[in-house]
Amino acid sequence: MNWLSTDQARELAARVVALTSADAAEVIVTSGEDSLTRFAENRIHQNVTETDTRVSVRAVLGDRQGVASTNRLDDDALASCCAAAVAAASAAPADPDFPGLPAPVPVETPTRAAAGAREFGPEQRADAVGAIVGQCSSRLIQAAGGVASNLKTLAIANSLGVDVGMETTSVRATVLALTDRGGSGWASFHGPDPNGLAADALGDEAATLARRSEYPTDLDPGTYTVVLAPEAVADIVDFLGYLGFSVRAFEEGRSFLSGHLGERVLSELVTITDDALDPEAFGLTFDYEGMPKRRVPLIERGVANGVVTDSYWAARTGRENTGHALPAPNPYGPLGLDVQMAPGDSTIDELIRSVEHGIYVTRFHYVNVEDPVPATLTGMTRDGTFLIEDGALTAPLKNQRFTQSAVAALDSVRGVTRQRAFFDVMLGAVLVPGLLIDGWEFTGQTG
């Protein structure tokens, strides 16, 4: 019932490659243990743990491909899985653009699994929850959230000699604090190791924000200067990456970068890079084809610089493979899972002090895309939205709806914080600062 070590996962991947009767094969082995303790109303209401190992086989017959996967690891099941992948490849029409599986390239695999994460069991998670809840219950505030640990091993092998593996860990904690006067506060932590988790401080941060946001008031819809805390920026950068930074979207005319490489498309204060090798990053350093994730400068001081690729789209478009493949089969195209925005030189307090009349946003909720090219997004604020008057936070506000182009917003950045934080998002993790943005469109508010 244990997950596999890196060596065990690599051995299994190589064994399944050899089992596959195809011209070529690629095998991804994902193994891990995920645990989560959730709490609400100041008590633990959900406590789960899961171990699983999954094997995915991509069989190649000439220029045809098929994929099959299983979590049954006995010899018969693995053989059936390989046979299903071969059968799928046999049925597939020829794809003359398929360049074949990639050949091995040296991959740097730093140690990123934290020993502390392995020791972070249900009792330790419960103790962290206890500390968070204690900060809230002592102030007659209701706390909700979760404390999670994820231990993951990924190994990839192919019949051309790719053979890589890596173990990663992550710990995440979230705290929502709710008061009976409409106050709502939030704090979160995401890192490779529970040693960075200060549960008391997290509970205090959320509870303090909740008290400060009590009795929220109305705001007229309109255009405002906003200060976005890093967690709010995370959503905007995440969606921009999903919509705009893939070579596929770029080539199909669906990206705001399409036709604009080398041009200034965002504010000069905005530099965005995909960099899995950053010393602060704690994810995988290779993609789902076993290729090294290259550092890709996407936006440099506002200028469109590049997009991410994988082996298929690199060959098809004559670009370098930047190592951003998702697991096959991948109808989405390559995506950046390690996007980060460069820091600025301000603090969040300095950004607030520079605003005469504006809005401060702690984080967003339920963001979605209305128009893909300008990355027009709609969503709500939550857990601490405030009016800024004469450089200070004043009245707490009801949650506000925005309908705003992310491209236009990031072209109107006026300030960037030095401090950045990691957030796990739809696409991997992002590392982002807080931002001061002019011209943000709020289009409604909660009832």
Partner 1 sequence: MRDVVFAAIDAALLVGAHYADARIVDSREEQVSVANGRVEAIESGESFGIGVRVIADGSWGFASSAEVSIASAELLGRMAVEVARSSARVAGTPISLAEVDAHDTQWSGPCQIDPFSVSLEDKIALLLSADEAMREEKAVKLTKAHLGFFRVHTYFGSSEGSYIEQNHTESGGGISALAIAEGEVLTRSYPNSHGGNWLQGGFEVVRGFDLPGEAPRVAEEAAALLTAAPCPSGVTDLIIDGSQLGLQVHESIGHPAELDRVLGDEAAFAGTSFLGVTDLGQLRYGSDHVTVTADATVPGSIGSFGFDDEGVPAQRDHLITRGTLTGFLTSRESARAISRTSNGSMRADGWNRIPLIRMTTVSLEPGEWSLDDLIADTDDGLYVETNNSWSIDDKRLNFQFACEIGWEIKNGERTRMVKNPNYTGITPKFWNSCDAVCSRDHWQVWGLPNCGKGEPIQIAHVAHGAAPARFRGVRVGVGR
Distance in angstroms (rounded) separating the CA atoms of residues 82 and 90: 12
Contact between 201 and partner 1 per CB under 8 A: no
Contact between 129 and partner 1 per CB under 8 A: yes
311-330 positions binding partner 1, by CB under 8 A = 329-330
Contact between 446 and partner 1 per CB under 8 A: yes
- Binding region for partner 1 (CB under 8 A) out of 336-344, 366-374, 389-397, 415-423: 366-374
Least gap, CB of 122 to partner 1 (angstroms) = 4
14-53 positions binding partner 1, by CB under 8 A = 34, 36-53
The residue among 190, 269, 239, 231 whose CA lies nearest residue 385 is 231
Considering only CA atoms, give the Rg of the chain. 23
Contact between 207 and partner 1 per CB under 8 A: no
Q: Residue 145 or 192: which CB sits closer to partner 1?
A: 145
Say which residue the tokens 């190589």 belong to. 14
369-408 positions binding partner 1, by CB under 8 A = 369-374, 376, 378-380, 382, 399, 401, 403-404
Least gap, CB of 204 to partner 1 (angstroms) = 17
CA 371-319-338 angle, to 5 degrees, is 60
90-119 positions binding partner 1, by CB under 8 A = 91-93, 95, 97
Q: Residue 83 or 198: which CB sits closer to partner 1?
A: 83
Contact between 309 and partner 1 per CB under 8 A: no
Peptide bond into 110 cis (omega under 30): no
- Binds partner 1 by CB under 8 A, chosen from 365, 392, 394, 419: 365
Distance in angstroms (rounded) separating the CA atoms of residues 443 and 447: 13
Distance in angstroms (rounded) separating the CA atoms of residues 46 and 82: 37
Report the DSSP beta bridge partners of residue 423. Answer: 430
Residue 393: Cβ within 10 Å count:
18
242-261 positions binding partner 1, by CB under 8 A = 252-254, 258
- The pairing of beta strand 24-40 with beta strand 142-158: antiparallel
Answer whether 230's CB lies under 8 Å from 432's CB.
yes
How many Cα neighbours within 13 Å face the side chain of 283?
A: 25
Least gap, CB of 210 to partner 1 (angstroms) = 12
Answer whether 197's CB lies under 8 Å from 177's CB.
no
Least gap, CB of 73 to partner 1 (angstroms) = 8
Total residues contacting partner 1 (rule CB under 8 A)? 91
Contact between 178 and partner 1 per CB under 8 A: yes
Binding mask 64-83 for partner 1 (x = CB under 8 A): -xxxxxxxxx-------x--
Least gap, CB of 258 to partner 1 (angstroms) = 8
Q: Residue 170 or 346: which CB sits closer to partner 1?
A: 170
DSSP per-residue letters across 254-318: -STTTT-TTSB-S-TT--EEE-TT-TT--S-SB-TTS-B---EEEEETTEE---B--HHHHHHHT
Q: Residue 212 or 398: which CB sits closer to partner 1?
A: 398
Least gap, CB of 121 to partner 1 (angstroms) = 8
- Binding region for partner 1 (CB under 8 A) out of 123-131, 197-205, 265-273, 299-307: 123-131
